[in-house]
Amino acid sequence: MKNTLVLDGHQLDLKALLHACSSSDVKVEISADAKAKVTKSRQYIDSRLSKGEVMYGVNTGFGAFSSVRISDSEIELLQKNLIRSHSMGVGAPFTKKQSRAMMILRANALSRGHSGCRVEVIEKILEFLNKDLIPVIPSQGSVGASGDLAPLSHLALALIGEGEVWGADGKPVPVATELQRLGMKPLVLKHKEGLSLINGCQVMTAIGLLSLAETKDLLNLADLAGAMSLEGLRGSRSAFDPLISASRAHAGEIKTARNLLKILGTTSEIAESHAGCNKVQDAYSLRCMPAVHGASKDTFQYVLRTLETEANSSTDNPLVFADDGKILSCGNFHGEPVAFALDFLGIALSSTASISECRIAKMINPAMSDLPAFLAPNGGLNSGHMIVQVAAASLVSENKILAHPASVDSIPTSAEKEDHVSMGTIAARKAGQILQNAQNVLAMEFLSATQALDMLGGLKSSPVIEKVKNEIRQAVPFAKEDRIFSKDVEKIKEMMLNGKILGVLEKEIGLLDI
């Protein structure tokens, strides 16, 4: 992929954002057309101001102070005071990668030309990005309406030379020190520009998009882990017949059934070993994978569409429409579309982890698996995967709490002026934690599934599953006796995140559908 990202406010997608925010080697620019639109918008707002008009956030106070007129001599101080007073974030900071994504999204939104700021504001964001000067942004303090005010103010605070950025040693340092070292000048805010920097949902959207990138891999890994568990439990492939999914026609269900059959193949030594057995149906956690995994895939697609739409939207207030001769107060800064989507993502990820834990529970239960209890070769002396399942259950139950939707809550702010808010940034942060929990649960399932497969008397699974199992075995050998299984889970999770497991899968059968 090319190492230059050109922003125009209309075409930014997850793939480009992920590439640009993962490496400081990618240079970010604003397109010539976008510059022209931004300049036209600025000239229009200047022409209206020159006639003595009163405009919210330009020459008035903010929120409940919107009726307070600010003198022309104090307009620049108004913008600086806005950033200082709104820099009220608390808690652990977002990661440097997350903050890069926020900066890219904010620059892209401003590039649409509806915010009335100067081109210099966008160029200053991009200068910071391209110099790898990334603001330290606290993660708590946004209610997700009037934009992500507190965290975006910390972003803007660095731009004006008063905040902190990440130093070379990974610790926060005063931005003024770094600006001096690099010979850079801070941004001097003009009228409306402080407001333009902080009105928007770029924080929740950035966190959500980065979580989606990992969710895509997780959903593919869930199909793989489920297929391995099905073989370990000597389950049936018949529930994945394409006739079944075609009769319901949800896209995700069709994709999942197809994925599972690609992974499992038409048969295997394991499948042949229990042909004609007296089992009529498998447990839901095996038989219903197309429905459950598929619903998560459909959710992924909905959330992706919503967040990519948001990434290319104007979320300022007021908005400037120079061609139409209008400056309009509005509520595009309200995060509800993103909040709903990210709550939905958290629910889907919770379900993905839950059904994974169900499969682990089946594998450790000899009544369900016909395998040694807890997958322990010498049970009693060894506890085997007893606490692997307990840990998975703990994470699944934690997700049940985290999956309570943040967006159903609201609380009046700004002296009742801003009386309904989205809590979208909380939804984004929660979805990220649920994702991490789900990744750990799936790593536990891979651990138990490989153990189960190796306890089937040397019978082979499909070629794909055998190669994936062998890859995992390079880092995590079969457990002949108890050991510290948390270290195994860490190793498998690392293989999940660095692409090793999916790499084997894709080399054998190509990309899975999502």
Residue 59's pLDDT is 76
- 73 — pLDDT class (breaks 50, 70, 90): confident
In the block, which residue shows the tokens 């939104």?
A: 109
Residue 55's pLDDT is 78
CB 215 within 8 A of CB 349: yes
Domain shared by 313 and 384, yes or no:
yes
- 96 — pLDDT class (breaks 50, 70, 90): very high
Residue 78's pLDDT is 84
* pLDDT tens-digit series, residues 330-348: 999 999 999 999 999 999 9
Determine the angle formed by the axes of helices 463-475 and 485-497, rounding to 10 degrees.
Answer: 120
Q: Tell me: pLDDT of 69 over 90.
A: no
Task: Look at residues 166, 200, 234 and tell me which one is the last residue of a structural domain.
Answer: 200
Residues 6+ apart with CB under 8 A from 72: 59
56 is catalytic: yes
* pLDDT tens-digit series, residues 318-333: 999 999 999 998 999 9
In a domain, 332, yes or no: yes
Q: Which two tokens stand for residue 377?
A: 């070769």
State the Cα–Cα distance between residues 196 and 217, nearest whole angstrom. 35
Whether the bond between 93 and the residue before it is cis, its omega within 30 degrees of 0, is: no
Which residue is catalytic, options 44, 56, 284, 302?
A: 56
Q: Tell me: pLDDT of 435 over 90.
A: yes
State the Cα–Cα distance between residues 323 and 478, nearest whole angstrom. 68
In a domain, 370, yes or no: yes
Average pLDDT over residues 414-426: 89
State the Cα–Cα distance between residues 97 and 209, nearest whole angstrom. 12
Q: Tell me: pLDDT of 40 over 70.
A: yes
State the Cα–Cα distance between residues 122 and 128, nearest whole angstrom. 10
State the Cα–Cα distance between residues 412 and 307, nearest whole angstrom. 25
CB 386 within 8 A of CB 374: yes
Name the amino acid, one letter, at 503: G
Domain shared by 248 and 188, yes or no:
no
CB count within 10 Å of CB 36 equals: 12
Domain shared by 41 and 118, yes or no:
yes
Cut 0.85: pTM above it:
yes
Domain shared by 220 and 317, yes or no:
yes
Domain shared by 151 and 277, yes or no:
no
State the Cα–Cα distance between residues 64 and 68, nearest whole angstrom. 9
Residue 199's pLDDT is 92
Alpha helices in 169-276 (DSSP H): 175-182, 193-198, 202-232, 242-246, 251-264, 269-273
State the Cα–Cα distance between residues 174 and 93, nearest whole angstrom. 15
- 64 — pLDDT class (breaks 50, 70, 90): low
CA dihedral 56, 59, 61, 64 (to 10 degrees): -30
Q: Which two tokens stand for residue 398?
A: 């934690």
Determine the angle formed by the axes of helices 485-497 and 424-453, rounding to 10 degrees.
Answer: 110
- Strand stretches in 128-205, DSSP E: 138-140, 164-166, 172-174
CB 434 within 8 A of CB 406: no
| Angle (CA) 276 280 282, round 5° | 110
Average pLDDT over residues 435-451: 98
State the Cα–Cα distance between residues 366 and 402, nearest whole angstrom. 32
- Ranges 4-8, 274-278, 291-295: which has the least confidence: 274-278
Judged on CB neighbours under 10 Å (0-12, 13-18, 19+), 90 is exposed
Residue 235's pLDDT is 96
Strands 319-321 and 90-93: unpaired
* pLDDT tens-digit series, residues 115-159: 999 999 999 999 999 999 999 999 999 999 988 999 999 999 999
Q: Counting every residue, how long is the chain?
A: 514
Query: Which has more confidence, 427 or 75?
Result: 427
Residue 68's pLDDT is 76
Mapped onto helix, strand or coil, the DSSP state of residue 338 is: helix
Residue 72's pLDDT is 74
Average pLDDT over residues 8-14: 97
Q: Which domain holds residue 9?
A: 4-200
Task: Look at residues 176, 200, 224 and tell me which one is the last residue of a structural domain.
Answer: 200
Q: How far is CA 299 from the centre of its chain?
A: 13
CB 134 within 8 A of CB 94: no
Domain shared by 273 and 324, yes or no:
yes
State the Cα–Cα distance between residues 440 and 494, nearest whole angstrom. 10
Helix (H), strand (E), coil (C) string for 289-327: HHHHHHHHHHHHHHHHHHHHHHHCCCCCCCEEEHHHCEE
Task: Look at residues 200, 222, 241 and tell me which one is the last residue of a structural domain.
Answer: 200
In a domain, 514, yes or no: no
Domains identified in the chain, total number: 2
Q: How far is CA 307 from CA 55, 143, 318, 381, in A?
A: 30, 18, 22, 52
Q: How far is CA 78 from CA 81, 135, 338, 405, in A?
A: 5, 22, 30, 36
State the Cα–Cα distance between residues 445 and 255, nearest whole angstrom. 21
Domain shared by 263 and 379, yes or no:
yes
Q: Tell me: pLDDT of 1 over 60.
A: no
Query: Which has more confidence, 191 or 310?
Result: 310
Domain shared by 170 and 309, yes or no:
no
Sign for the CA dihedral angle at 177, 180, 181, 183 comes to: positive
- Looking at residue 305, which CATH number applies to its domain? 1.20.200.10
What single string gives the DSSP state of each residue in 456-495? STT----HHHHHHHHHHHHHS---SS---HHHHHHHHHHH
Domain shared by 215 and 158, yes or no:
no
In a domain, 174, yes or no: yes
Domain shared by 156 and 244, yes or no:
no
State the Cα–Cα distance between residues 89 and 141, nearest whole angstrom. 5
Domain shared by 177 and 270, yes or no:
no
Mean pLDDT of the chain, nearest integer = 94
User: Does residue 311 come out as left (phi exceeding 0), alpha (psi in the -120 to 50 range) or beta?
Assistant: alpha
State the Cα–Cα distance between residues 211 and 213, nearest whole angstrom. 5
Average pLDDT over residues 360-380: 96
Domain shared by 482 and 347, yes or no:
yes
